[in-house]
Amino acid sequence: MAEIVRPSLRLRPSEQRVVLLLGDLLASVTAMFGALEFWRRYSLYQLVAAGMPPNRAERILDIPVPIWFYLLPLVWILLMIELYEPHSAANWGRTLRGIAGAAILGLLGYSVVFTVNRDPNSLPRIAVGAFLLIASFLTLAWRALYIRLYTTSGMMRRVLVLGAGKAGQTLAAVYSKLKPPPFTLVGFVDDDVQKRGKLYQGLRVLGSTVGLVDTIDQYHVSDLVISITGEIGGAAFQRVLDAQERGVEITRMPILYEEMTGRVPVHHLESDWVIRSFVDDVRVSGIYELLKRLMDLLGAFVGLLILAVTLPLTAGATILDSGLPILYSQLRFGKANSRFRIYKFRTMKKDAEAEGEVRVTEEKDPRVTTVGRFLRRTHLDELPQFWSVLRGEMSLVGPRAERPELIQIYERQIPFYRARFLVKPGLTGWAQINHGYASTVYDTVVKLEYDLYYIKHRSLWMDMRIVLRTIGTVMGLRGR
């Protein structure tokens, strides 16, 4: 009997997120205590340098640390929310931008709080500034270590794809675009003799399932991905079981596709998989539904408050730029094909669809007004939709609410499109933060893949991540 394969330590994405979280938490907690110590020593030095006796200076500095200061590590982690995807975490450019953005956003947030509430007994701004500075350096050092480990071949999974057909080639095409790669894709195995030795997306067909175990041993494979549409023959299935007994992890193509892209591959799904994933597995607990509704109500209250503050300026600018009306409404589809009207600030010229033809928004759309372009970049045009969230017709997070005319077109062209109506539409969503607007059918397919991924994996934690990433998008003026 052949020796059982004992793969070296290779972490899956969920395990990598835990490692990242623990490292960031350790860095931020260390930064918190370091900031307190720095503040005390710096303040003591200033008081003693001014002529105050050290004992008296110590007593003056003996003030209680406010509770909120101990929450700074949690705030730091939330500000870095975009860096908990393994692909982003392994990219130096994204890591540097994410840490810098977290520090800047934290500083701006504290500046607002300090301006509104100046408590003379609270720690001065230097303590918060020290925390942000120390947390940035420690987190950067930890992330540099993580990237070093992540890109070390011994720590990365080695994946073999069973099936070099359309599904397998799709995986390889997606893999080729990921920089840095999340694992090592060693090649294909396929029983089609005509494919033997050929290259697909730069990867070779290494052999057939007859020699599967030998191929696994030769290339030190840790994961085997099944990308065969239809049934697997009995002999091939037995060899897959043999590989599993040797410690190789078996994964289906849609699962690995989700892991790599955060999307569901709608063109590579079979009906039984869809039924299993979107009927059996999409049920969520009543607790989640309750907490999500509470989050919606809180978000709607905050959003409507911002709307009330910005309404005079927004309305005045719109009138001066292009006249009345200020708002416009459209019929949209919601959960279970329910219909409702959304309201937005008008950002396009009047009669933008005067000919009656429904048109999607395009890049640099000439119909958008000058003020409308600013409203879109800042997402201020979306504020009136918080009324729909308050009414329960929409949620803060979910698929984009679409127009009935476009739905009829997409349902004819895109498989499983109706599955997105299993949940309420949202002001923001997994598709919106990852892909933005859709101006073509291809873009709509990609967004649907993101929407289905959200429906399948939705949770309160995922909703919070999406909301926080949306805030980062708004702060960066990355709307269109």
Confidence of residue 276 (pLDDT cuts 50, 70, 90): low
Confidence of residue 187 (pLDDT cuts 50, 70, 90): very high
Residue 417 has which token pair?
């499109």
Biggest CA-to-CA distance, the chain: 89
17-26, 80-89, 381-390, 406-415: the lowest-pLDDT one: 80-89
**Residues 128/133/135/138 CA torsion (nearest 10 deg):** -160
Query: Stretch 303-317: mean pLDDT, rounded?
Result: 93
Does 98 or 54 have the greater pLDDT score?
A: 98
- Amino acid 42 reads Y
Tell me the pLDDT tens digit for each residue of 248-261.
989 989 889 988 88
**What percent of the chain has pLDDT above 70?**
84
Instruction: Report CA-CA distances (Å) from 59 to 40, 44, 54, 64.
Output: 11, 10, 9, 12
pLDDT at 476 over 60: no
Does 441 or 351 have the greater pLDDT score?
A: 441
| pLDDT for res 448 | 92
Report the alpha-carbon distance of residue 395 to residue 291 in Å, rounded.
12
Report the alpha-carbon distance of residue 185 to residue 156 in Å, rounded.
10
5-9, 12-16, 211-215, 290-294: the lowest-pLDDT one: 5-9
Q: Distance from first CA to last CA of the chain, Å, rounded?
A: 62
Residue 154 has which token pair?
């011994």
Cis peptide before 325 (omega within 30 of 0): yes
pLDDT at 156 over 80: no
| pLDDT for res 45 | 72
Number of other CB atoms surrounding residue 341 within 10 Å: 11
Confidence of residue 121 (pLDDT cuts 50, 70, 90): low
| pLDDT for res 5 | 42
Residue 71 has which token pair?
């929450």
pLDDT at 117 over 90: no
| pLDDT for res 427 | 94
Q: Judge whether 4 and 247 are in contact, CB under 8 Å.
A: yes
Instruction: Report CA-CA distances (Å) from 333 to 410, 418, 422, 426, 445.
Output: 13, 11, 11, 11, 18
| pLDDT for res 6 | 43
Confidence of residue 295 (pLDDT cuts 50, 70, 90): very high
Q: Is 184 helix (H, G, I), strand (E, B) or coil?
A: strand
Residue 145 has which token pair?
């270590």
What are the residue boundaries of the structural domains of the chain, listed by start? 13-150, 157-261, 286-475
Cis peptide before 181 (omega within 30 of 0): no
Residue 343's nearest CA partner among 325, 357, 358 is 325
pLDDT at 479 over 60: no
Report the alpha-carbon distance of residue 158 to residue 248 in Å, rounded.
10
Number of other CB atoms surrounding residue 27 within 10 Å: 23
| pLDDT for res 279 | 59
Q: Judge whether 388 and 330 are in contact, CB under 8 Å.
A: no
Confidence of residue 308 (pLDDT cuts 50, 70, 90): very high
323 — phi, psi (to 5°)? 80, -170
- The mean pLDDT value of the chain amounts to 83
Q: Which helix (H) or strand (E) holds 331?
A: strand 327-333
Report the alpha-carbon distance of residue 383 to residue 388 in Å, rounded.
10
| pLDDT for res 357 | 65
Residues in the chain: 480
Query: Stretch 130-139: mean pLDDT, rounded?
Result: 94
Cα 451 versus chain centre, distance: 12
Q: Judge whether 27 and 102 are in contact, CB under 8 Å.
A: no
| pLDDT for res 84 | 81
Confidence of residue 392 (pLDDT cuts 50, 70, 90): very high
pLDDT at 79 over 60: yes
Query: Stretch 386-406: mean pLDDT, rounded?
Result: 93
Mind giving me the DSSP string for 59-108? HHT--PPPGGGGGHHHHHHHHTGGGGSHHHHT-HHHHHHHHHHHHHHHHH
Confidence of residue 188 (pLDDT cuts 50, 70, 90): very high
301-310, 342-351, 379-388: the lowest-pLDDT one: 342-351
Query: Stretch 83-103: mean pLDDT, rounded?
Result: 82
Report the alpha-carbon distance of residue 397 to residue 289 in Å, rounded.
12
Q: Judge whether 211 and 2 are in contact, CB under 8 Å.
A: no
Tell me the pLDDT tens digit for each residue of 397-433.
999 998 888 888 898 888 888 888 889 999 999 999 8
pLDDT at 335 over 70: yes
What fold is seen in the domain 157-261? Rossmann fold (3.40.50)
| pLDDT for res 273 | 58
| pLDDT for res 461 | 85
126-130, 247-251, 312-316, 437-441: the lowest-pLDDT one: 437-441
Q: Judge whether 229 and 194 are in contact, CB under 8 Å.
A: no
Instruction: Report CA-CA distances (Å) from 250 to 54, 156, 175, 229.
Output: 66, 16, 18, 16
| pLDDT for res 88 | 74
**Which class for 187: exposed (0-12), middle (13-18), buried (19 or more C-beta within 10 A)?**
buried
Instruction: Report CA-CA distances (Å) from 121 to 125, 318, 344.
Output: 12, 45, 44
185 — phi, psi (to 5°)? -95, 110
Report the alpha-carbon distance of residue 471 to residue 475 in Å, rounded.
6
Q: Which helix (H) or strand (E) holds 330?
A: strand 327-333
| pLDDT for res 270 | 64
**Which class for 31: exposed (0-12), middle (13-18), buried (19 or more C-beta within 10 A)?**
buried
| pLDDT for res 379 | 86
Instruction: State the sign of the Cα–Cα–Cα–Cα dihedral 207, 250, 3, 160.
Output: positive
Global model pTM greater than 0.85: no
Q: How many CA atoms lie within 13 A of 369 on its CB side?
A: 21
36-50, 92-106, 384-398, 402-416: the lowest-pLDDT one: 36-50
Query: Stretch 155-160: mean pLDDT, rounded?
Result: 83
pLDDT at 463 over 90: yes
Q: What share of the chain is helix, strand, coil (3-state, %, to 5)?
A: 60, 10, 30
Query: Stretch 124-152: mean pLDDT, rounded?
Result: 86
